[in-house]
Amino acid sequence: MAEPIPLRSPGGRPRRSSPSTEVGYSSPQDEASWWSVNVEETPELQWPLSIEVFDRMRRQDAQVQSVLRAVTLPVRQTEWRLDPAGARDEVVQFVADDLGLRIKGQDDDTPPARTRDRFSWSEHLQNALLMTVFGHMYFEQVYRPLGADGFMHLRKLAPRWPRTISKINVAMDGGLKSIEQHPPAGLIAVDGKGPILDVTRLVAYVLDREGANWLGTSLLRAAYKHWLIKDRLLRTWAQTIDRNGMGLPVYTGGDPNLVTVPPDDLDKGEGVAKSVRSGDNSGAGIPFSAKLELLGVKGTLPDAEKAVRYHDEQIGRSVLAHFLNLNAQGGSYALASVQAGTFFGSLNSLAQTFADTTTQHVVEDMVDLNFGVDEPAPRVVFEPIGRDSAAVVAAVKDLLATGALKASPGLDSWLRDLLGLPAKDYVIPQPNPASGGDQ
């Protein structure tokens, strides 16, 4: 029988009980209003209407598309690797083979495996980064049946697109429980519901999640107002050019005292003015003493271009991509470098979010299934984005020269990874038979 816990600490103070259960909550108890944790005052941006709005923004606006590519392409193009992090070689190699990743600090000279019907890292990364558009992106883990080698291999992470999700079930403590999908098209569900995917088979990429808000926050949310106003300005700008580019046809009636002027002259003249079009065969016939003119706008038209440029700048500023607008503003290279540093920091933060989620809910699940829950697991890591390799090498050189840093195999391996160089072939000293000792 276990001894009871003393009521007083060794110092004589009353011992405070250790809280082991939660009293408060993060998610509303009413499942019908689970989405209310995503506080959104703009009606058209309330889920699920926001899915269509953000999708339209990225497809129809060049600046929005440029901003998204500036954010996602560096993350996709950086080097992704698997850090052993103390895991056994067998475990690291198994995960690396299934994910198609190189192992940090090692050269991979083996021929690439066939990609058909296998997990694609690049495709998964591209799809996962859609969380920047919609705020969230969910995947379902799919494994192959137990093979002859005794392992369950990852076949794919199947995307569960935001449009297909009907509900996200969240526990009171804010943890994810499951997601529900709409019934597939053409099929009638018996209970009126679609598939329910438990959290144990899900991988959830959520951008800027706050508490129980598993919808996340779209990267385009702050740019919505500027996109909306800019869209209206562009339409007005086009109408202004179309309306005033040729001039406004104005018909002046002939002298009513002349016999040649018909009584319905103004009505017919209005029809002539409205039918005037530009073209090789365009023209009009009017009575004697009547007049048809193309009049331009008197005064100054509103400068829509300046307003459009302003909102483009704000869309770029919403993702810290200020330097995208420096060319139009005549900004300096030095200013672009300073602003790019902040932008690269945000990209590294985004990449780290992806790496942490993949490590916790893909790599560790693979290790748990095949090696047990107590087995150490490797980590997904990436080459920092925007790092000046030449400056780092120069700094290391100075530190080595002053003695502040010492050369070591670890430093050598790190520098080779940084510069994309092959791993060094270390020569292991062999015994010298003649001397009876080491070489």
pLDDT in tens, 263-293: 777 777 767 776 776 666 666 767 767 777 7
Q: Is the pLDDT of residue 90 over 90?
A: yes
Mean pLDDT value of segment 328-344 = 57
Please check the confidence at residue 302 and state whether its pLDDT lies above 90: no
Segment among 3-17, 191-205, 269-283 with least mean pLDDT? 3-17
pLDDT value, residue 344: 84
pLDDT given at position 249: 76
| pLDDT greater at residue 171 or residue 427 | 171
Predicted local confidence at residue 321, as pLDDT? 63
pLDDT at 239: 75
Query: 142 has which bridge partners?
Result: 156
Q: Which residue would you say has higher pLDDT here, 151 or 118?
A: 151
Length of the chain (residues): 439
- Distance (Å, rounded) from C-alpha 352 to C-alpha 201? 22
The pLDDT mean for the chain works out to 79
Q: Is the pLDDT of residue 328 over 60?
A: no
**What pLDDT was estimated at residue 362?**
96
Say how far apart CA 332 and CA 183 lie, in whole Å: 54
Give the whole-angstrom CA distance, residue 289 versus residue 66: 57
Tens digits of per-residue pLDDT, 210-225?
888 899 999 999 999 9
Closest CA to 184 of 195, 199, 197, 176: 195
Predicted confidence (pLDDT) at residue 439 exceeds the cutoff of 50: no
pLDDT for 280 equals 64
Task: Cite the DSSP H helix spans in 139-275.
Answer: 224-244, 265-275
Among 76-90, 134-148, 149-163, 289-303, which is the least confidently predicted range? 289-303
- Report whether 363 contacts 377 (CB < 8 A): yes
Lowest mean pLDDT segment, chosen from 174-188, 191-205, 238-252:
238-252
- Alpha carbon distance 76, 82 (integer Å): 15
Mean pLDDT, residues 304-314: 85
pLDDT at 279: 64
Confidence of residue 417 (pLDDT cuts 50, 70, 90): low
Tens-digit pLDDT profile for residues 158-174: 999 999 999 999 988 88
Cα gap 247→245, rounded to integer Å: 6
* pLDDT value at residue 57: 95
Quote the pLDDT of residue 181: 93
Band of residue 334 on the pLDDT scale cut at 50, 70, 90 = very low
Cross-sheet strand order for the sheet of 165-170: 165-170, 176-181, 196-198
Average pLDDT of span 349-363: 96
* Band of residue 143 on the pLDDT scale cut at 50, 70, 90: very high
pLDDT-derived band at 118 (thresholds 50, 70, 90) equals: confident
Does position 40 have pLDDT exceeding 70, yes or no? yes
pLDDT classification of 418: cutoffs 50, 70, 90:
low
pLDDT at 337: 53
Q: What is the pLDDT of residue 428?
A: 46
> How far apart, in whole angstroms, are the C-alpha atoms of residue 409 and residue 391?
21
One DSSP character per residue, 286-342 reads --TT-EEEEEPPSS----HHHHHHHHHHHHHHTTT-GGGGHHHHT--HHHHHHHHHH
Better-scored residue on pLDDT, 20 or 172: 172
Average pLDDT over residues 76-105: 92
Q: Which comes out higher in pLDDT, residue 106 or 279?
A: 106
Phi and psi at 376, nearest 5°, equal -60, 145
Q: What is the pLDDT of residue 7?
A: 56
What is the percentage of the chain residues whose pLDDT exceeds 90? Answer: 39
Give CA separation, 141 vs 82, 181, 193, in Å.
19, 16, 21
Q: Which of 64-73, 125-134, 176-185, 331-340 has the lowest mean pLDDT?
A: 331-340
CA proximity to 164, closest of 134, 144, 190: 134
Select the more confidently predicted residue: 116 or 336.
116
